């Protein structure tokens, strides 16, 4: 019978002193290793909160197969395309902050008949009346000129979203929030609180929800089951955004409200990764927000993530990927200047994280 402690044979990466304290945030290695051996030309799709944009653009900059399932119209300049939310995520969904939103988009993608039941907001502006899908109200900066066009655009994005999980190898999703707003009657989620950036708030119709662990896990499991029914080989990589809440409608101070939100999402993501071989978790949250970073990667507003943090996250991400399986003969993009793209990402002030509460922050 062995009398040796089970800790005696553990590698250095298992101990806080040797893996963290003695090496610092920039000296850590083997922080993450993908459990999957993927083809060299593996396809990736990306969705979620604002921080997910870093992953999508970093994949493109390095020549990986990032699927753009809803490309901009031909000839549209890049800066205009981005203004209209093309090429930000793999479909023009806008930010998907919550598990409830992800499940709703998945159901919409698989059942086109649901399009006619989706809420469309009408809004009177100086240019006249415009229309916005409540599920993605800011994808068209000035709204759509007719309700039919708004519903048609939503249908097109739903089809693109279906392609994003049916035709990919890895579906990357960044969880951002536990807090959200839903329609009291239908239960349908909103992308943002009505009356903040768009729409009009109605206390009789709009219900605040701060989702707990069981609901978040159930929504994610249901969404992933639907996706894998369409694509049994689908791998799902979860991350948690390190960007704090702009504001909270929970009644709590925004600091513990942020801690609750991020810790709950982190717990769900970790448990899902531990219970299913097709799900994994990448620690972008820990790299930016954990004690070893000493908040060094946050801008003066203590929310936006600066260039050095983005670069470090991407270094760990690409170091941990295993793309050693034979390629499938798919065309891949030409790599861009990765450092320049990382810098441009960091230069963008990603304060849109938790934008659903922006207007309630005293602005």
Residue 336 pLDDT class (50, 70, 90 cuts): low
pLDDT at 87: 93
pLDDT at 235 over 70: yes
Give me the pLDDT at residue 335, please: 60
Q: What percent of the chain has pLDDT over 70?
A: 91
Return the HEC string of the chain: CCCCCCCCCCCHHHCHHHHHHCCCCCCCCCCCCCCCCCECCCEEEEEECCCHHHHHHHHHHCCCEECCCCCCCCCCCHHHHHHCCCCCCCCCCCCCCCHHHHHHHHHHHHCHHHHHHCCEEEEEECCEEEEEECCCCCCCCCCECCHHHHHHHHHHHHHHHHHHHHCCCEEEEEECCCEEEEECCCCCECCCCCCCCCCCCCCCCEEEEECCHHHHHHHHHHHHHHHHHHCCCCEEEEEECCCCCCCCCCCCCHHHHHHHHHHHHHHHHHHHHHHCCCEEECCHHHHHHCHHHCCCCECCCCCCECHHHHHHHHHHHHHHCCCCECCCCCCCCCCCCHHHHHHHHHHCCCCCCCHHHHHHCCC
Res. 329 pLDDT band, cuts 50 70 90: confident
Res 248: pLDDT: 97
- In contact, 182 and 194? CB cutoff 8 Å: no
Distance CA 93, CA 154 (A): 8
Highest mean predicted confidence (pLDDT) among 16-25, 119-128, 268-277:
268-277
The distance between the two most distant Cα atoms of the chain, rounded to a whole number of Å, is 82
Given a cut of 60, whether residue 363 has pLDDT beyond it is no
Least confident among 233-247, 251-265, 328-342: 328-342
Query: What percent of the chain clears pLDDT 90, i.e. is strictly above it?
Result: 80
First to last CA, the chain: 67
Range scoring the smallest mean pLDDT among 43-47, 162-166, 258-262, 306-310: 306-310
The residue-averaged pLDDT of 173-179 equals: 97
Of 203, 202, 201, 206, the C-alpha closest to 183 is: 206
Q: Read off the pLDDT of residues 147-174 as tens digits, 9 standing for 90 and up.
A: 999 999 999 999 999 999 999 999 999 9
Q: Among 27-31, 169-173, 223-227, whose mean pLDDT is lowest?
A: 27-31
With bands split at pLDDT 50, 70 and 90, how would you rate the model's confidence at 332? low
| Res. 190: pLDDT tops 60 | yes
């Amino acid at each position: 019978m062995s009398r040796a402690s089970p800790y005696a044979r553990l590698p250095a990466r298992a101990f806080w002193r040797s893996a963290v304290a003695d090496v610092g945030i920039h000296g850590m290695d083997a922080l993450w290793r993908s459990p999957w051996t993927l083809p060299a030309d593996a396809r990736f799709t990306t969705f979620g909160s604002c921080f997910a944009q870093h992953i999508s653009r970093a994949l493109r900059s390095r020549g990986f197969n990032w699927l753009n399932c809803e490309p901009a119209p031909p000839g549209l300049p890049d800066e205009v395309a981005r203004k209209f939310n093309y090429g930000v995520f793999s479909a023009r969904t806008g930010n998907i902050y919550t598990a409830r939103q992800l499940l709703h988009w998945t159901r919409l993608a698989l059942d086109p008949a649901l399009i006619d039941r989706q809420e469309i907001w009408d809004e009177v502006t100086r240019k006249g009346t415009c229309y916005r899908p409540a599920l993605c109200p800011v994808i068209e900066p000035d709204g759509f000129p007719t309700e039919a066009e708004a519903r048609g655009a939503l249908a097109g994005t739903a089809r693109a979203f279906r392609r994003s999980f049916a035709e990919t190898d890895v579906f990357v999703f960044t969880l951002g929030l536990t807090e959200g707003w839903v329609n009291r009657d239908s239960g349908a989620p909103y992308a943002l609180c009505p009356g903040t950036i768009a729409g009009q708030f109605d206390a009789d119709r709009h219900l605040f929800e701060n989702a707990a662990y069981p609901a978040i896990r159930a929504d994610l499991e249901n969404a992933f089951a639907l996706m894998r029914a369409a694509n049994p080989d689908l791998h799902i990589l979860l991350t948690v955004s390190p960007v704090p809440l702009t504001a909270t409608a929970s009644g709590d101070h925004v600091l513990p409200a942020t801690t609750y939100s991020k810790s709950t999402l982190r717990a769900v993501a970790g448990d899902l990764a531990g219970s299913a071989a097709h799900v994994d978790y990448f620690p972008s949250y820990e790299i930016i927000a954990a004690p070893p970073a000493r908040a060094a990667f946050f801008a003066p507003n203590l929310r936006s993530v600066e260039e050095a943090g983005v670069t470090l996250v991407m270094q760990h991400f690409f170091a941990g990927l295993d793309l050693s399986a034979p390629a499938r003969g798919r065309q891949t993009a030409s790599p861009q200047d990765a450092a320049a793209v990382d810098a441009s990402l960091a230069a963008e002030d990603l304060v849109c994280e938790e934008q659903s509460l922006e207007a309630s922050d005293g602005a």
